Amino acid sequence: LAIFLLSIGGIKTWSVGYRINLNFGFVNGVKVGAPVRFAGVDVGEVKKIKLEFLPQENRSNVCLAGWVKGAIKIPVDSTVWVNTLGMLGEKYIEIIPGKDYDHLLKENDQVLGVDPLPIHVIFNRIEGIMRSLDDGLAQIRNKEGSLGKFIYDDAIYKISRSAIANNY
């Protein structure tokens, strides 16, 4: 009965694995129980999240305790980042394998993750691109700049039309 109850509860008392500590400045909503993936394959999960202040660096740090299956060998030069399923979906930890299989992560090793971009930063960048595009189109409509002068210059149009007519 006890084994049955532990199985349905998803408790892995007999699973072999190891803990890695993943450090971020921002985790964009990762929750306890979020998957940890290595090379795109589920290999573990986030077990604990701790927010701490680092006085020596004068910044906040989010430490995720990740549990990884014991058979998974993660090179120390691997890249760790927060990923999202779909546009607004579940957050999870993605580990992109490094190349240094001579040096692997061990129990309780610390790994510095790459912080995700907050959505407001992405929208601000898109807004800046759209403003630049609007400014460029306004210059073209006002017959300014090389492209605006080229498009609206009747002499170039007539020369182009004549060259096309003569070749055909």
pLDDT in tens, 120-158: 888 899 999 999 999 999 998 898 888 888 788 788 778
DSSP readout, the chain?
A: -HHHHHHHTT--TT--EEEEEEEES--TT--TT-EEEETTEEEEEEEEEEEEEETTTTEEEEEEEEEEETT---BTT-EEEEEESTTT--EEEEEE--S-TTSB--TTEEEEPBPPPPHHHHHHHHHHHHHHHHHHHHHHHTT-HHHHHHHH-HHHHHHHHHHHHHH-
- Percentage of the residues of the chain whose pLDDT score is greater than 90: 58
- State the pLDDT at residue 160: 79
Q: State yes or no: pLDDT of 168 exceeds 70.
A: no
- State the pLDDT at residue 120: 81
